[in-house]
Structure 1
């Protein structure tokens, strides 16, 4: 399967783009989403960064602001940490 580039949404919702382009929202989602491998790789890098920041003693809220995610995402990244790495 060929690798494709993600098309940026430029702040528009999937529904707005679908209406403008006259296509189904699922088509827009397919055009604007990262390939799964890219998404999973970026998510793993974010989890590693969260753990590194937590080891420095930063609060979850500070880490969330630094990484650009929600406090819940930080909590889940720390909660899902394998036992041997704690």
Structure 2
């Protein structure tokens, strides 16, 4: 599958209005393959677990990884439920 094109901060609607291309086509052209997305998400989950095991707070982990505290909380909760 070809590499996705970046949207460079543009929303699907903005690109649709500027180019006239169908929204579904824009999504298909700019989305990364599901396997790549899931691999990246699992790497983030593992990093959260490792940082939490080192004793970092959820806020510190969120700042380190660049995601919300809620996301970190969800990842920690998922790890506890397994």
Secondary structure of 2:32's aligned partner: coil
Name the structure 2 match of 1:73: 71
Secondary structure of 1:4's aligned partner: coil
Name the structure 2 match of 1:10: 8
Moved over 3 A (4+): none
Name the structure 1 match of 2:52: 54
User: Of the candidates 37, 40, 43, which is equivalent to residue 38 of structure 2?
Assistant: 40
Give the TM-score normalised by structure 1. Answer: 0.87
Q: Report the aligned-residue RMSD.
A: 1.4
Give 5+ residue unaligned stretches, structure 2: none
Larger helix percent: 2
Distance 1:82 1:74 in 2: 12
Give the TM-score normalised by structure 2. Answer: 0.91
Deviations 1:32-67 (A, max 9, x none): 111000000000000000111111111111111111
Distance 1:32 1:13 in 2: 11
Distance 2:80 2:54 in 1: 18
Alignment size in residue pairs: 82
